[in-house]
Amino acid sequence: MKTNYIPLTQQEVQDNGWESLDVILVSGDAYVDHPSFAAAIIGRYLISQGYRVGIIDQPVTDDDYQRLGKPNLFFGISSGNMDSMVNHYTAQRKIRSEDAYSPNGQTGLRPDRAILVYTQKVKQFFKDVPVVIGGVEASMRRIPHYDYWSDKIRNSILFDSKANILVYGNGERQILEIAQAIQTNKSLQNIKGTCIISNEQPEGTELISSYQDIKDKQLFWEMTKIFTESFNTKTLYYRFQDRYFVHNIPAEPFTTQEIDFIYSLPFSRDVHPKYKGKRIKAFEQIKFSILSHRGCYGGCSFCTIGFHQGKTIQSRSKDSIISEINKISTMKYFRKTITDISGASANMYGTFCKANISETCSRISCLYPEICNNLVVNEKPYISVLKAARLSKKVNNVFISSGVRFDLALKQQEFIQDLAVFHTSGLLKLAPEHISENVLTKMFKPSIKKYLEFAGIYADICKKIEKKQYIIPYLIVGFPGTSLDDALDLAIFLKQHNLQVEQIQEFTPTPMTIATMMYYTGMDYEDSQKRIFVPKGREIRLQKALAQWFIKSNKKLVFEALKAVNKLDYMNFFYRKEKT
C-alpha cells in the first residue's frame, strides 16, 4: 500500500493506485490501525489476500455511506468492538457520558442497534450489493435473545437486519471464504462460523420449532440448553414464518502459524491522521499491550468469549510476540513499558487439551467445577515469553494488567512467583466476582477458597521480596440468584479483609449468555424446575451499597438492607460509633 492506512476517502483509494474497492467495511468505531480493532484486522487480512478494502468509520450522514462508492463484492458491517447498546447504556439503562471508541470520547457518533441502522442505510443506496454482518453485536445476537434494553425477546439480528450472511467469532477465515464465494458466484451456504437464512428446512438439530415459541420461558430455557451444548458440533436451525435460520458449526481454530501471520500484518499501530490531536481512549488503554492468544475455556455464565472465539487456546509464537514488541519500541509514543501480554485470561497462554477435544467436548468450562484432567496447564511457554520480553533492551517493564485465572495459577506456582516479582505494576486485578458459594455456582466460578489460597501465596511472595503490591478484586452485584443475605456476606468479607472496592459492576444481561437466560426466566441453568431469585431495581442498589458501605452516601441504604434481612446489629460492624 502507498499509504500507511486502509483508505477512508476516495482520495486515499486513488493514492493506493486503486480504481475501485472490492470490500467496504462499515464500523461504529473510529478507525485505529491496530490489531485490537476489528475493522483494522479484517481489513488488513483481506488486503493481504489480494482484495482492495476501504473503511467507512462512524457514518452519520447519507454522504458518509456513499463516500467510497459501490464495492465490487460486498459491504462488511459491524457496530465496532462493542455491542452498541452496551456501549451506550449503563446497567440502569442510563446513557453513558463517554464513548471510548470515539474521538475525545464524543457520544452520538454510533447509533443504537448500529448494525440495523448501518445495514438499512447501505441497502437504501446500494440495493444489489451483498451485506455481511459481523463483530460482537452480530455474534451476540445471532440467535433469538433476550434484549435487556427493550425488555423483550428479539429475533436473530440476521432476520432483523435483512443481511445476506452473518459471521460470528474470529472472522478472518469466514470473511475470506465469503469474498471468494461472491467473487466466483458460489453459494454462501455451509461456511463454518456463519449463519444464513434458507428457504428450505436444513438437516440438523432444531433449536425451537419456530421463533414465535421462544417467548415461552420454558422453551427459551430449552433453546439456551440446546444451543450451549450443541452449537460446536451440530448445524442448528429454527423456522421464522416461511424461512429457516441456519447456524453452521464454528470456524476451525487458528494454528500458531496462521495467527502469527495475522499479527504480522503491516498495522501502523496508530489512529488515522483524520483524528490528529484527538484522543481515543480505547486506543490509549491498549497501545502498549499485546494480544498473546485467542480463546477461553473458563466458561463463566455471564461471558460470551467461548461462544465467539471458542474454547481452544490459539497461541502466538514467542518470536511473533517479541517481533511485535520490537515494532512497538519504534513508535514515537512508546515509554519502554509493555502494559500487557495477555488474552482473555493471561495464564491460559500455551495451555491445551491433551485429548484434542476442546471444540467438541460438551463441558461448558474446562475449569469448573474442577480443572479437567485433560487440560495441560504447563506455565513454561508463558514464562518463556514474559522473560524474553522483559530481557529486551528496548523494554524496562513488562506488566500483566488484564485478567489472571487464580484457580489455574494454583497449578502454575512458577508463574505466581514471576507474576509477583516481575509483572505486577503495584495492583493485581483478579476476578473472584463474589464470595457466596450460592452465587459462584450460578456464575460457574471457583470457590472463594481458591481465591484466598492464591492471595495468600501471592502476599507471601510480595512480603519476601519486600514489594508493596495489592490485589484488586473484580466483583459483580445483582447477579441472578444473589440474595441480600449473599450481598451481606460479601460486604462482611470485604470489611474483614480491609478491602474498599471503588468500582463494582452491576450485572447487565447481555444477549446470549447463560446468566441472561437465568435473569429472564428465573430458572436455574442446570434445572428449569429450580426457580432462582432475580434481583432488580432497588434490590441491586442495596446490594451495591452493602459492598460499598464505606461511601458516606450509602449509609442509609446499608441501614435499609440490614433491616430487610433482620440484621441491624451489623450497623456497628460497618460503622463504629463516633466518639462524642
Q: What does 541-562 look like in DSSP terms, one character per residue?
A: HHHHHHHTTTSGGGHHHHHHHH
Q: How far is CA 217 from CA 220, 377, 520, in A?
A: 5, 39, 8
Residue 495 has pLDDT above 70, yes or no: yes
Which CATH number covers residue 570? 3.30.750.200
The residue type found at 570 is: Y
pTM score above 0.75: yes
- What SS3 class is residue 519? helix
Position 359 scores a pLDDT of 87
Q: Does 259 fall in a domain?
A: no
Residue 289 has pLDDT above 60, yes or no: yes
Q: Tell me which of 217, 247, 277 is where a domain ends.
A: 247
Position 549 scores a pLDDT of 97
Of 67, 73, 79, 63, nearest to 12 (Cα)?
67
Position 576 scores a pLDDT of 79
Position 40 scores a pLDDT of 98
Position 2 scores a pLDDT of 63
Mean pLDDT on 69-94: 97
Position 296 scores a pLDDT of 96
Instruction: List beta partners, residue 53.
Output: 23
Q: Does 448 fall in a domain?
A: yes
Q: Tell me which of 219, 247, 275 is where a domain ends.
A: 247
Position 145 scores a pLDDT of 96
Residue 550 has pLDDT above 60, yes or no: yes
How many domains does the chain fold into?
Answer: 2
Mean pLDDT on 165-183: 97
For the packed helices 318-328 and 380-390, what is the interaxial angle rounded to 10 degrees? 30
3-state helix, strand, coil in the chain (%, to 5): 40, 15, 45
Q: In angstroms, rounded to a whole number, what is the distance separating the alpha carbons of residues 45 and 33? A: 12
Q: In angstroms, rounded to a whole number, what is the distance separating the alpha carbons of residues 409 and 397? A: 22
Classify each residue of 44-75 as buried b or exposed e, where b means 16 or more C-beta atoms within 10 Å of its C-beta.
Answer: bbbbeeebbbbbbbbbeeeeebbebeebbbbb
Q: Does 332 fall in a domain?
A: no
Q: To which residue does cell 512497538 refer?
A: 328
Q: Write out pLDDT tens, residues 24-52.
A: 999 999 999 999 999 999 999 999 999 99
Phi-psi map region of 414: left, alpha, beta (phi>0 left; psi -120 to 50 alpha): alpha
Q: Does 54 fall in a domain?
A: yes
Mean pLDDT over all residues of the chain?
Answer: 95
Mean pLDDT on 285-294: 96
Question: Which grid coordinates are listed for 430?
Answer: 483478579
Q: Write out pLDDT tens, residues 206-226.
A: 999 889 888 899 999 999 999
Question: Which grid coordinates are listed for 461?
Answer: 511472595
Computed over its alpha carbons, how large is the radius of gyration of the chain? 24
| % of the chain with per-residue pLDDT over 70 | 99
Mean pLDDT on 344-351: 96
Position 330 scores a pLDDT of 92
442 neighbors 301 (Cβ within 8 angstroms): yes
Q: Does 362 fall in a domain?
A: no
* Three-state SS annotation for 197-212: EECCCCCCEEEEEEHH
Position 579 scores a pLDDT of 47
Backbone angles phi, psi at 190, to 5 degrees: 65, 25
Q: In angstroms, rounded to a whole number, what is the distance separating the alpha carbons of residues 277 and 493? A: 46
pLDDT band at 333 (very low <50, low <70, confident <90, very high): confident
Q: Does 387 fall in a domain?
A: no
Position 580 scores a pLDDT of 39
pLDDT band at 403 (very low <50, low <70, confident <90, very high): confident
Residue 172 has pLDDT above 70, yes or no: yes
Q: Tell me which of 231, 247, 263 is where a domain ends.
A: 247
Q: Which residues, in sequence order, are CB contacts of 35 under 8 Å at separation 6+?
A: 41, 44, 262, 263, 265, 267, 291
pLDDT band at 485 (very low <50, low <70, confident <90, very high): very high
Position 577 scores a pLDDT of 66
Q: How far is CA 302 from CA 298, 299, 433, 440, in A?
A: 11, 8, 11, 11
Q: Which residues, in sequence order, are CB contacts of 40 under 8 Å at separation 6+?
A: 6, 31, 32, 33, 34, 267
Of 164, 207, 171, nearest to 189 (Cα)?
164
Q: Which residues constitute the domain of residue 145? A: 10-247
Q: Does 398 fall in a domain?
A: no
Question: Which grid coordinates are listed for 175?
Answer: 470473511
Of 482, 479, 473, nearest to 502 (Cα)?
473
